[in-house]
Structure formats: structure tokens, C-alpha cells
């Protein structure tokens, strides 16, 4: 399967076309086609994972000399240390100026891991959607879009080169646009869709330039080639720095990093399965994936090995905190989860920034399961518990009695997210903190711990408002159907067990062993398990839960803090600041966008109308006056007569000519004379020269 | 197939003959007129298909025909096709049957309309095939006449103003071109004693024979004509007016073909004839092109009229084409030519779709429409596809052209490429806004009663979008044909100037260890 990885994205791509053209006539309106295709992709991905693991174990067991990468021999012979080379296949897509633009597959540990995650969650989400979207007005179209998304995401994942990755990157953005705006009858939804597309595209400027810079620097778009170039020691550091910076801007846009994170909460306007698949588990981590893919460029470009604070780690750290803080002031359960996603993506980016590659990818892996679980749980609540509302304060509460499966799985997801031992989030978050500490990034360990306490607290608030207290809604809450609960159960199993793939104190390093690249990759620090740090982080999460629980679970609601925002001016201002999302949306929409549309565009248009055209008109009038004399000297009848003669001769075609009033013909003639005048002037000038 | 069949003359003569046949028909029988129009335009399409099939990539001008015409004046009829003009001819042959087919709503003076359209097709074929400067100029000028009458006769509201403005701008530019052509030929005959307007002869002589000052002046003369047609900032203001008032078929041809005449002129005449001047003045064109990319996109964002939005987007797109060409690198020229083809497909599709909306509601105002996707799912879907194709989404032809143009520009002038990349993002803004405001939301009033796309309309739009998709997924066949002739243009520039095409890499990379290299 490693050699035929192209089949995995091809299946859902075919399914997209089949659903689009034949889906409506299918017995299940296209859902079965999508599920079958992505199911097959999932099985093939599992085969690929197993084959990759065998390949790694063979290599580490025996000798790795036999393993030579297929495809173009762009690998410096013996340049990099021996490792398990990725399986590369390339075809020429097109050529220009001697440059070959290829398309192909690179399969290594990172790829197979990501393919597994993408196909598994796509499959579960599609099954879930058969119930959740049951009566939707565009049910078939929805499944077609999901298939297209899975195909695009997998294209991005298996990319052989950065150009192909850019193609996949834009296509997942397109699917995100279509799916956020799925219910486009409401203006808010279509606005959110456009906001998401355009905001991520701002980051795409960086990505596009970054890709071009790396192409010129390394002389190839090939990911392996670029990584080898970055580590080869011959690279100019300034180029790597600019390249890394530009690529990182792309990551900021796609992976919801500060300050381009504002689109992600609005993207919750899409159907909940879409939020789970695209805006939690897969598409938004495309940025992190890109960072992991071209890590040598970022590693060298940002000088991560020096152990100093760098741009990437700082942005990640800031994102952890701003996301987590905003999660506190939301009424909408999906928005809580969206800000939580932003914050968790911050962890991944920060991990990449502090050299904890494996921890970042491991967190990507575990986060995909528990965050998809939480979103699908929220969807289950709105589907069967709160009458299609996501407002925790007005339509939820007390649902644990009515929806036991949803409640139990949501609790598992929340605890995993909060990083409670021994659930998945504990292992991956802990590995990020331990590696950061080991590499000397102490400040970021502190940021991570603050993030952990905030995460535990806002999830406690969220769980309380949704499942505890009195039911505040108006419907008849009941448990969701099996198509919804089964994916929840499967995901909760992964949320419990996924962390053990790299349970360091138990002597399990499988995740590192299998999935960390050993070919064209920097030497990374691997932290030993730090018991004290682990205990601190769990304790701190429990403190967060405790504080939040004491605030919300007690009858007197907020206890001593009740009305704090009203009594204390500073707290009030802080709350308003959060309510307004740090005024970033105001800055982007009211200041920048409206400024360009209202001010700059109007000014430019005024320039068009009143300066350029005025010059044209002025010249025209001047020429007309100058030509008047010459024109008067001419026999007008000659002009008119000839025109009429042509008109008569050409029958109806002349009708058009005849409709040209004679005044206009005169102007036309004037124009000819004006042109002749200009020509004469030009000839004169040319002769002077 | 006979190899000496004058295929290129047939391409020019067939539509001209069609125009004459249509004129000879009785005005009372519009259905016969239509039939004749379709037959002749499809015949041209078939001829162009034959040409595409029999063209051999990389062997210079092919199917060349040469006849003495005005012998004493050195004017000859000479036509030929190479990889650059081939696709312009093919695009022209494709767009006319589609434009005629989309003109079912033309019920007044059908006969004149079809006659003018076929005459326009013949003139455009002549423009892209001529290899003699005077013949080129005649065709170049003649294009204006049918277009002027098409806007005037079948346009909307302010058509008089728009047609006249179109005429003023282009005539003024052409005057400089005529003078330039004449001066060039006379200077040549002063030196060699032989008066000729043959492009090959002049190309062989001009780079060496002209003194630098004269070359620069002549380059600017040609520039005036071509820049108006492109149109380059600040000579673009005729375009929004002409587009807005033109009938749908007129807009399709205007955007699809007329704008290409300018870029084609730069490639075919300005670069080979005045290489040193082109190299020296390239920064000017790069600046104007870059301004056009940003300016067009920003002004488009505030227009209340959909046709004006698409018109301003053309300014931005053609900016990419000029940017790529005056980067003077193989990738840049490839990208420029590819952008021309791609823009012809996607913008024509957009104008056709807007024309369909106009046929139903008689308005081009964005605010008049709302929620159309609900009542016209197919048309809405196609508009969405066309918008994303025009935006340059990967998978469509626009991406390939713009990306290549950016790469080609990055080799020589990094800042322009960076600004151009910003323009790529801007392009998404206005079209998505249009799509959101017209097709999304809930339809009310008349919007709720609009009919979805019909079969005839579908047949017009789908081929264009399918081709754009095909070229986006598999651009290789087209690029492989364009590239040898693009390289030839660059070699001509290199032979006639001190310019040498740089390799696509940082100057001192990868061996240099010193910092820098990035401007």
C-alpha cells in the first residue's frame, strides 16, 4: 500500500463525482456511496500503517541499507544519516522553463498516521451525519462535499511536493467554505463561510511566497529535497529564515493561530459534523501538519536548536492563552469547543516551536479523537436534547439523566481534553511540557501549565451548564439514535487508549519509534518522563476543575465572585474585552475591510472617474476644438453621402449605421482627424530623434 | 489531408464570407440568419480544431502563406501560426459560436448583429495570424468598427457614451501604432533601401539597426496601442464602461479576445522588435501591471454593478499576464500566455452567466438579486464554479497561469511577485461577495420566480468551465506547445540586448554562505 498510496485519496474523489451525478437516485441518497468509499480508504490506510510499521521494524531490526527511496534520485547519497526513507513516487505534472512540476506521494510515518486519523474520523462523521443531517434539504450535496473534503485532505497529506500540498490546502479551504455556508439561506452562515475562506487566504499569501522561496532556495518543490537542503549545511540562513517565516504565516492562517484565529469560532455556523471533522480534527491541523512536514526548514529557520524564544513558540503560547480565556465567556457550546480548539492548536504550534516535534504530532493525534468526540457530543445534545440549539444557558442543563451515553462519552472527552491521567490528552500534553522543559524553554512550560488550568476550568463550566442543574430547554430531551452514539463510543475508546501509544513511563515509545522521521530530519531532544511535572500538571488541572466546580456547582452560583464583573471596574472591563474578542473582529471587519471597501476603493474609483477620465475628456475636447476648423473646411456631404451609400448598399446592416445620428458621425470623423493630428506630431518627434 | 490547403486564410476568410452571406439574406428571416451564423462559426471552429491537431510543437511559424499585395509599398499578405498565436486562434474560434449561441435574446436587427459578429471574428483571426505589420495594423484597427457598432446597436443604457469612449481610447492608441509601424519601415528602408513591413525581416534588422533612442520611442509608440487594449493602469477606464453597456456577446468577445490583442502585441511585436528598449522599460510595465493587479481588485470590491466588478477583475487578471511577460523569463512568459487563455475561458463564462441573469431580470445591480441559488440551483452552482475558476483556485486553469507568472517574476523582481501574491488573495474578495449577495440568502419577490438555466444556456457555459478545469488539472499539453515559441521570444530578446535570462535560483545559492540574496 505504501507504493500505491494515491488510491487512498482517489477513492473519495471518485465518490464525490458519483454522489454529485448519481447520488440523488441512490437508495440512501448518496450517503452509502460516501461511506463505502471512505470506509475502503480507511481500511487501506490501516494496511499502510501496518506496512509502514513493518518497514520500520525491519529496518531497525536488520540493516537499513536495502531501503532506497523510489522515484527521482534527489537524495544526496550518504548525505543524511541512514534512516528509514519515505516511499516517494513522482509523476511530471507539467514543465515550464526546464522546471518539472511534479505530483506524487510521499509516504512515511507522519503520512500514514495522518491518513489513519483523517479516514477514521471522516468515516465516523459520515456515519454520524446519516442521522444528524437526516432531513436536510441538501443531504446528497452534503455527502458529496464531505467526500471532496476527505479527498482534498488526503491529497494534502500524501503530497510529494509543496506545490501539490498547496493545491490540497486550497481545496480543503474550498470545502470548508462550502460546508460552513451549507445553510446559506441565513446571511450569518454565508458571512461566516466567506470570513473563513478569506482569513485563511491571508495566510495563504505567506504560504505561496514561502513555497516559492523554498523552491528557489532548494531548486525543487519536493518535500524531501527541501528538508535535505535545509539540513545540508549549505543553505543560506537568511533564506531559510524568510522561507520559514512565510510558511509559518500560512500555518497561522490555517491552524487558527493568533492573530488570524477569528474565523474559527464563526466557522461553527456550519453543521456540527463539519465542525468536528474539518474545524477540529483535520483541516485546522493542516497547518500543524505542514509545520511537521517541513520541520527542518522551521527548525533551522527559527533557530529552534538554540533554545531561545522564537516567533513560532511565542505565537503558539499566546494562542493557548487567548483561546482558553475566550472559552470562558461563551454561551454557545460549539464556540467553547472552537476556542478550545484554537487553544489546543496553540499547544501543537508551541510544541513545534520548542523542538518537541513528536509531542506536537502526538498531540495532533490524540486531540483529533477527543475534540471530534466533544463536537459530535455537542451535536448529539442539540439533535436530541436542546431542540437544535447550542445555547448552553437557555436551552440545556440537566441532560445527564436524559442522554446517558452522550453524557458519559462527553465526560471522557472533557477529561481527556483537561489532561487527566490516564486519558489521551494527559500523555500528549505532558510530553509537550516535558520536552519544552528538557530543552530549556521554561517560560513555555509555565504557559502550558496556565493553559492546562484554564482548559480544565472552562470544560468544567461547559459540562456543568450542559449536563447538570435543571433542564432549561423547552423540548423533550432523549438519547440520540445509534448512528450518533456508536461513533461517540468508538471515539471515546480512542480518547482513553490513544495516549498509551507513547506512554513513556510504561516503557512504551511506539509512537516515536514508528512515526518520527529518521530520514532528513534534525536530531531532536526526547525528554524522559518527568514525574514531578506530570503530577503538577494533573494537580493543576484538578485545581482548575475544583475552582470551576465550586463556582458553578454550588447553589449560590458564583459564590464570592457573583457579580464581580459588575462590582469591580477592572474585572468588568476585562469581561467586556473578552466579550468583544479582544476587538480583533472589529479591527479586521470595521477598520480594515470597511476601510478598504469604503475608503480606499472609493478613492480609487473617484480617481478613475474624475482624474483619468477628466484627462481623457479634456484631451478629447481640445482635439475637437483644434479639429473644428479643419472639419468645417470639409464638405460634409462627402462624409454623410458616403455613409449613406454604404448603408443603402449593405441593406439592413446599414440600419445600424443609420441609427448612428449624424452628430455622432461627426464626432467620429473629428476623432479621426484628432488622431491624424497626434500622428503628425509623433512623426515630427520621431524625425527629431 | 492536403498539406498545402491554405488553412490560415480559410480561418480568416470563412467568417468574412459568413458575414457577406448573412448580409445578403433577407432581414425578414432571422432564423436563416441565425442558422448561417452558427454554420459559419462552427465551420471556423472545425478548421481551428484541424489546425490544433496538425500543429507541430516547437517548429516555429507553420502553415505560412505569403502573397505580394501592394508590392510597391512593401506590403504583403503573410500569415503564420506559432504556439503563442495557436491558442489565441483556437480561443477565438471557440468563443464566437458560443457568443452567437448565447445571443438568442437579440431580436432586433438580428441580421446586422450576426454580420458584425462574423466580421469581428474575421478581423480577430487576422490580428492573431498576420506576420506583416501593415496587415496586422489593418486588422487591429478593423476590430474596432464591429465592436463599436455592437456596443452602440445592442448595448444597454449609456451605450453611446461607452462606445465612443471605447473608440477614443483605442483609436488614440492605434494612431501611435501606425506612426510607429511607418517610422520603423522607413528607417529600415533608409538603411537597406528596401521598403518592407515583413515582421521577420524587420525583426532581424531592428535590434541592431535602430539607434537606442529611436527604439525606445518606437517601443513607446507600440506600447500606447497595446497598453490601451490590455488595458494597463491608467488606461483602463474605458473597459468598465464598455463592458457594462455591451450586450452579452460583446462582453464575452471584449474580455475574451480584444484584451488579448494588447498582450499578444507586446509578445509578438514589442519584445522581438525592440528588445533593448523592452528590457530597459520593463520596470515601468511591471509597476503598471502590479498597480493594475491591486487597483483592479480593490475598485472591483466597491462596485454595485456586477458587470463592472468582472470588468475590473479583468484589469487585475491582465495585470498578471503583463507581469509574467515583462518578467522576461520562460516561466513568466508561459504563465502570461496561459493566463490569457485561462482568462478568456473563465471571464467569458462569468459574462455569459451574468447575461443569463440579465435576460431574466434586466438588471446588473448586485442589490437586485438575492437567494438565487434556491430557485436556480444549476445556474448558481455554475456561477460558483466560474467564480472559483476566476479566483484562481488550484484545479482550474487560472491557478497555473498566475502561479507561473509569479514564479517567473520572482526570479527577477521579488517585490512585484510578493505584491502579486497579495493580489491573488484580493481576487477572492469581490467575487465571493458577489456570490454571497446574489446567490445566497432567501429569495423574495421576483427573485423567487426566476427560471433555472436552460439547455441552450448550459451548452454555452459548460464547455468553457470544463476546459478551464481540464487545463487546470492537465496543463502540460498546452504548456508544451507554448514553451518552444516563448523560448524563441526570449532568445530574440537576448540576441538583441544585454539581457540574459537568469536561472530560477537565488543568485548566490546554494553554495554562498553570506547572508543576503533576498531583496
Give the mean pLDDT per block of 10 residues along chain A (689 residues): 85 90 82 90 91 82 41 37 76 81 87 92 92 86 92 92 90 90 86 87 89 87 87 81 91 89 87 89 90 89 78 90 86 88 92 88 92 91 80 80 87 89 86 84 86 88 83 80 88 88 78 80 77 84 82 58 63 74 73 71 75 71 59 47 48 41 50 58 51
Cβ contact, residue pair B417, A190, below 8 Å: no
Q: What is the pLDDT of residue A581?
A: 73
CA distance B127 to A304: 59
Closest Cβ opposite residue B371 in set A185, A655, A657:
A185
Phi-psi region of B3 (alpha: psi -120 to 50; beta: other; left: phi over 0): alpha
pTM summary value: 0.86
Chain A residues inside the 8 Å CB shell of B480: 95
Tell me whether 0.85 is exceeded by the ipTM.
Answer: yes
Q: Is A207 exposed, middle or buried (0-12, 13-18, 19+ CB in 10 A)?
A: buried
Q: What residues 181-200 of chain A have any CB closer than 8 A to a CB of chain B?
A: 181, 184-187, 190-191, 193-194, 197-198
Domain spans in chain B, listed from the N-terminal domain onward: 7-495
**C-alpha to C-alpha distances, B472 to A165, A428, A464, nearest whole angstrom:** 15, 41, 51
Q: Is A174 on the interface with B (CB under 8 A)?
A: yes
- If one counts every other C-beta atom within 10 angstroms of the C-beta of residue B480, the result is 15
Cβ contact, residue pair A686, B218, below 8 Å: yes
Chain B residues inside the 8 Å CB shell of A650: 23
CA distance A438 to A445: 10
Q: Is A446 exposed, middle or buried (0-12, 13-18, 19+ CB in 10 A)?
A: middle
Chain A residues inside the 8 Å CB shell of B165: 616
Q: Which helix (H) or strand (E) holds A373?
A: helix A357-380
Chain A residues inside the 8 Å CB shell of B141: none
Chain B residues inside the 8 Å CB shell of A238: 515-518
Are B88 and B478 within 8 A, CB to CB? Answer: no
Side-chain half-sphere exposure of A635, counting CA atoms within 13 A? 4
Probe site for chain B from A20, A96, A687 (most B CB atoms < 10 A): A96
CA distance B422 to B311: 19
Q: Is A170 on the interface with B (CB under 8 A)?
A: yes
Q: How many CB pairs under 8 A join A and B?
A: 235
Cβ contact, residue pair B301, A601, below 8 Å: yes
pLDDT in tens, B324-380: 999 989 889 999 999 999 999 999 999 999 999 888 888 888 888 888 888 888 898
Q: What residues 14-53 of chain A have any CB closer than 8 A to a CB of chain B?
A: none
CA distance B353 to B454: 12
Probe site for chain A from B399, B437, B518, B519 (most A CB atoms < 10 A): B518
Give the range among A438-442, B76-80, B236-240 with minimum mean pLDDT: A438-442
Are B76 and B197 within 8 A, CB to CB? Answer: yes
Q: What is the pLDDT of residue A554?
A: 62
Cβ contact, residue pair A236, B408, below 8 Å: no
Cβ contact, residue pair A652, B111, below 8 Å: yes
Task: Give which of A312, A324, A320, A315 is closest to A354, Cα–Cα.
Answer: A312
First to last CA, chain A: 72
Phi-psi region of A654 (alpha: psi -120 to 50; beta: other; left: phi over 0): alpha
Cβ contact, residue pair A194, B394, below 8 Å: no
Q: What is the pLDDT of residue A572?
A: 72
pLDDT in tens, B81-105: 998 999 999 999 999 999 999 888 8
Q: What is the pLDDT of residue A641?
A: 47
CA distance A361 to A364: 5
- Is the pLDDT at B312 greater than 50? The verdict is yes
Q: Which stretches within B155-274 are classed as H helix? A: 159-192, 199-209, 212-229, 238-245, 248-253, 259-265, 271-273
Report phi then psi at A175, rounded to 5. -65, -40
Q: What is the pLDDT of residue A636?
A: 43
**C-alpha to C-alpha distances, A248 to A71, A523, A641, nearest whole angstrom:** 29, 21, 71
Are B287 and B298 within 8 A, CB to CB? Answer: no
Are B128 and B84 within 8 A, CB to CB? Answer: no
The residue length of chain B stands at 519
Are A215 and A221 within 8 A, CB to CB? Answer: yes
Task: Give which of A195, A212, A197 is closest to B420, Cα–Cα.
Answer: A212
User: Which residue of chain A has the CA closest to B212?
Assistant: A689
The nearest CA of chain B is from the CA of A26 a distance in Å of 20
Closest Cβ opposite residue A185 in set B424, B442, B512:
B442
Chain B residues inside the 8 Å CB shell of A181: 440
Task: Give which of B489, B477, B475 is closest to B339, Cα–Cα.
Answer: B475
CA distance B387 to A174: 12
Closest Cβ opposite residue A216 in set B178, B480, B505:
B505
Instruction: Give the single-character DSSP code of B503.
Output: P
Probe site for chain B from A652, A670, A687, A688 (most B CB atoms < 10 A): A652
CA distance B419 to B430: 18
Cβ contact, residue pair A679, B175, below 8 Å: yes
Q: What residues 215-234 of chain A have any CB closer than 8 A to a CB of chain B?
A: 215-219, 229, 232, 234
The nearest CA of chain A is from the CA of B215 a distance in Å of 10
Amino acid at each position: 500500500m505504501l507504493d500505491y498510496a494515491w488510491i487512498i485519496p482517489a477513492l473519495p474523489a471518485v465518490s464525490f463525482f458519483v454522489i454529485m451525478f448519481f447520488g440523488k437516485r441512490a437508495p440512501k441518497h448518496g450517503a452509502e456511496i460516501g461511506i463505502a468509499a471512505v470506509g475502503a480508504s480507511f481500511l487501506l490506510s490501516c494496511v499502510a500503517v501496518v506496512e509502514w510499521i513493518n518497514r520500520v521494524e525491519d529496518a531497525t531490526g536488520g540493516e537499513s541499507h536495502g531501503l532506497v527511496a523510489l522515484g527521482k534520485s534527489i537524495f544526496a547519497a550518504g548525505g543524511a544519516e541512514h534512516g528509514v526513507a519515505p516511499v516517494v513516487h513522482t509523476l511530471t505534472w507539467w514543465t515550464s522553463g526546464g522546471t518539472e512540476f511534479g505530483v506524487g506521494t510521499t509516504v512515511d510515518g507522519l503520512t500514514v498516521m495522518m491518513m489513519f486519523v483523517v479516514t477514521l474520523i471522516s468515516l465516523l462523521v459520515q456515519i454520524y451525519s446519516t442521522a444528524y443531517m437526516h432531513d436536510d434539504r441538501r443531504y446528497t450535496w452534503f455527502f458529496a462535499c464531505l467526500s471532496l473534503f476527505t479527498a482534498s485532505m488526503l491529497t494534502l497529506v500524501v503530497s510529494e511536493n509543496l506545490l501539490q500540498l498547496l493545491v490540497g490546502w486550497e481545496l480543503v479551504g474550498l470545502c470548508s467554505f462550502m460546508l460552513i455556508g451549507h445553510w446559506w439561506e441565513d446571511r450569518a452562515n454565508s458571512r461566516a463561510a466567506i470570513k473563513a475562506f478569506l482569513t485563511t487566504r491571508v495566510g495563504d499569501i505567506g504560504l505561496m511566497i514561502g513555497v516559492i522561496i523554498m523552491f528557489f532556495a532548494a531548486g525543487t518543490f519536493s518535500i524531501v529535497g527541501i528538508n535535505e537542503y535545509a539540513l545540508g549545511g549549505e543553505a543560506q540562513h537568511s533564506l531559510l529564515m524568510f522561507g520559514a517565516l512565510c510558511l509559518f504565516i500560512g500555518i497561522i492562517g490555517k491552524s487558527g493561530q493568533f492573530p488570524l484565529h477569528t474565523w474559527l469560532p464563526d466557522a461553527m455556523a456550519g453543521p456540527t459534523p463539519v465542525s468536528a471533522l474539518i474545524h477540529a480534527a483535520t483541516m485546522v491541523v493542516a497547518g500543524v501538519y505542514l509545520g511537521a512536514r517541513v520541520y527542518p526548514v522551521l527548525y533551522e529557520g527559527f533557530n529552534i536548536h538554540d533554545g531561545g524564544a522564537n516567533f513560532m513558540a511565542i505565537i503558539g503560547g499566546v494562542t493557548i492563552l487567548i483561546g482558553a480565556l475566550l472559552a470562558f465567556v461563551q454561551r454557545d457550546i460549539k464556540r467553547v469547543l472552537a476556542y478550545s480548539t484554537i487553544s489546543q492548536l496553540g499547544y501543537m504550534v508551541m510544541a513545534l516551536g520548542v523542538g518537541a516535534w513528536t509531542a506536537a504530532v502526538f498531540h495532533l493525534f490524540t486531540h483529533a479523537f477527543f475534540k471530534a468526540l466533544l463536537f459530535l457530543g455537542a451535536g448529539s445534545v442539540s439533535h436530541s436534547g436542546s431542540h437544535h440549539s447550542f445555547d448552553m444557558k437557555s436551552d440545556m442543563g440537566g441532560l445527564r439523566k436524559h442522554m446517558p451515553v452522550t453524557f458519559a462519552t462527553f465526560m471522557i472527552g472533557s477529561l481527556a481534553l483537561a489532561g487527566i491521567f490516564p486519558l489521551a490528552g494527559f500523555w500528549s500534553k505532558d510530553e509537550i511540557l516535558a520536552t519544552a522543559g528538557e530543552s530549556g524553554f521554561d517560560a513555555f512550560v509555565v504557559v502550558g501549565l496556565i493553559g492546562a488550568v484554564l482548559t480544565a476550568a472552562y470544560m468544567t463550566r461547559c459540562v456543568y451548564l450542559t449536563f447538570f442543574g435543571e433542564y432549561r430547554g423547552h423540548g423533550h430531551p432523549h438519547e440520540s439514535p445509534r448512528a450518533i452514539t456508536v461513533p461517540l463510543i468508538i471515539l471515546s475508546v480512542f480518547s482513553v487508549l490513544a495516549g498509551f501509544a507513547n506512554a513513556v513511563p510504561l516503557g512504551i515509545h511506539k509512537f516515536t519509534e514508528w512515526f518520527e522521521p529518521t530520514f532528513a530530519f534534525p536530531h531532536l531532544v526526547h525528554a524522559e518522563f518527568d514525574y514531578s511535572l506530570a503530577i503538577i500538571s494533573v494537580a493543576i488541572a484538578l485545581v482548575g476543575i475544583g475552582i470551576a466546580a465550586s463556582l458553578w456547582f454550588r447553589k449560590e452560583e458564583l459564590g464570592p465572585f457573583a457579580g464581580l464583573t459588575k462590582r469591580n471596574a477592572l474585572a468588568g472591563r476585562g469581561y467586556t474585552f473578552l466579550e468583544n474578542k479582544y476587538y480583533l473582529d472589529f479591527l479586521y471587519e470595521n477598520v480594515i475591510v470597511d476601510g478598504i471597501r469604503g475608503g480606499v476603493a472609493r478613492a480609487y474609483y473617484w480617481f478613475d472617474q474624475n482624474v483619468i477620465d477628466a484627462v481623457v475628456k479634456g484631451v478629447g475636447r481640445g482635439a475637437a476644438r483644434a479639429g473644428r476648423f479643419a472639419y468645417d473646411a470639409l464638405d460634409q456631404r462627402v462624409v454623410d453621402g458616403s455613409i449613406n451609400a454604404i448603408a443603402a448598399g449593405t441593406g439592413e446592416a446599414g440600419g445600424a449605421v443609420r441609427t448612428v445620428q449624424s452628430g455622432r458621425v461627426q464626432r467620429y470623423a473629428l476623432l479621426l482627424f484628432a488622431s491624424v493630428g497626434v500622428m503628425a506630431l509623433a512623426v515630427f518627434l520621431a524625425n527629431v530623434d | 489531408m492536403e498539406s498545402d490547403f491554405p488553412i490560415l486564410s480559410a480561418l480568416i476568410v470563412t467568417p468574412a464570407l459568413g458575414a457577406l452571406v448573412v448580409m445578403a439574406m433577407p432581414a425578414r428571416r432571422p432564423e436563416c440568419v441565425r442558422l448561417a451564423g452558427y454554420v459559419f462559426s462552427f465551420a471556423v471552429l472545425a478548421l481551428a480544431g484541424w489546425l490544433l491537431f496538425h500543429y507541430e510543437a516547437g517548429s516555429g511559424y507553420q502553415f505560412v502563406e505569403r502573397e505580394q499585395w501592394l508590392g510597391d509599398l512593401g506590403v504583403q499578405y503573410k500569415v503564420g501560426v506559432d504556439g503563442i498565436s495557436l491558442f489565441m486562434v483556437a480561443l477565438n474560434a471557440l468563443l464566437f459560436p458560443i457568443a452567437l449561441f448565447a445571443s438568442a435574446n437579440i431580436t432586433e436587427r438580428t441580421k446586422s448583429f450576426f454580420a458584425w459578429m462574423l466580421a469581428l471574428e474575421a478581423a480577430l483571426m487576422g490580428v492573431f495570424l498576420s506576420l506583416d505589420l501593415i496587415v496586422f495594423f489593418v486588422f487591429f484597427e478593423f476590430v474596432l468598427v464591429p465592436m463599436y457598432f455592437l456596443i452602440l446597436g445592442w448595448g444597454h443604457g449609456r451605450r453611446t457614451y461607452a462606445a465612443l469612449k471605447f473608440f477614443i481610447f483605442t483609436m488614440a492608441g492605434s494612431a501611435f501604432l501606425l506612426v510607429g509601424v511607418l517610422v520603423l519601415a522607413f528607417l529600415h528602408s533608409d538603411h537597406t533601401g528596401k521598403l518592407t513591413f515583413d515582421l521577420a525581416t524587420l525583426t532581424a534588422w531592428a535590434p541592431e539597426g535602430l539607434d537606442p533612442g529611436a527604439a525606445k520611442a518606437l517601443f513607446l509608440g507600440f506600447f500606447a496601442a497595446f497598453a490601451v487594449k490590455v488595458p494597463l493602469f491608467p488606461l483602463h477606464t474605458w473597459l468598465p464602461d464598455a463592458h457594462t453597456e455591451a450586450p452579452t456577446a460583446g462582453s464575452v468577445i471584449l474580455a475574451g479576445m480584444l484584451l488579448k490583442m494588447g498582450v499578444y502585441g507586446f509578445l509578438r511585436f514589442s519584445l522581438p522588435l525592440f528588445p533593448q528598449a523592452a528590457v530597459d522599460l520593463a520596470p515601468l510595465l511591471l509597476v503598471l501591471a502590479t498597480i493594475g493587479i491591486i487597483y483592479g481588485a480593490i475598485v472591483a470590491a466597491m462596485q454595485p454593478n456586477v458587470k463592472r466588478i468582472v470588468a475590473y477583475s479583468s484589469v487585475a487578471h491582465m495585470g498578471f499576464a503583463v507581469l509574467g511577460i515583462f518578467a522576461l523569463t520562460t516561466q513568466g512568459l508561459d504563465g502570461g500566455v496561459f493566463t490569457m487563455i485561462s482568462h478568456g475561458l473563465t471571464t467569458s463564462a462569468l459574462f455569459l452567466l451574468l447575461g443569463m441573469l440579465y435576460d431574466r431580470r434586466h438588471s446588473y445591480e448586485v442589490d437586485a438579486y438575492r437567494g438565487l441559488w434556491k430557485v436556480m440551483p444549476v445556474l448558481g452552482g455554475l456561477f460558483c464554479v466560474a467564480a472559483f475558476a476566476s479566483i484562481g483556485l488550484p484545479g482550474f486553469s487560472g491557478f497555473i497561469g498566475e502561479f507561473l507568472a509569479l514564479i517567473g517574476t520572482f526570479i527577477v523582481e521579488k517585490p512585484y511577485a510578493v505584491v502579486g501574491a497579495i493580489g491573488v488573495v484580493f481576487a477572492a474578495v469581490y467575487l465571493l461577495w458577489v456570490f454571497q449577495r446574489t446567490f445566497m440568502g432567501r429569495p423574495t419577490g421576483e427573485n423567487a420566480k426566476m427560471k433555472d438555466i436552460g439547455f441552450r444556456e448550459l451548452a454555452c457555459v459548460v464547455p468553457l468551465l470544463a476546459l478551464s478545469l481540464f487545463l487546470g488539472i492537465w496543463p502540460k499539453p498546452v504548456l508544451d506547445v507554448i514553451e518552444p515559441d516563448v523560448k524563441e521570444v526570449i532568445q530574440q530578446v537576448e540576441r538583441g540586448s544585454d539581457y540574459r535570462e537568469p536561472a530560477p535560483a537565488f543568485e548566490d545559492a546554494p553554495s554562498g554562505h553570506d547572508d543576503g540574496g533576498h531583496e
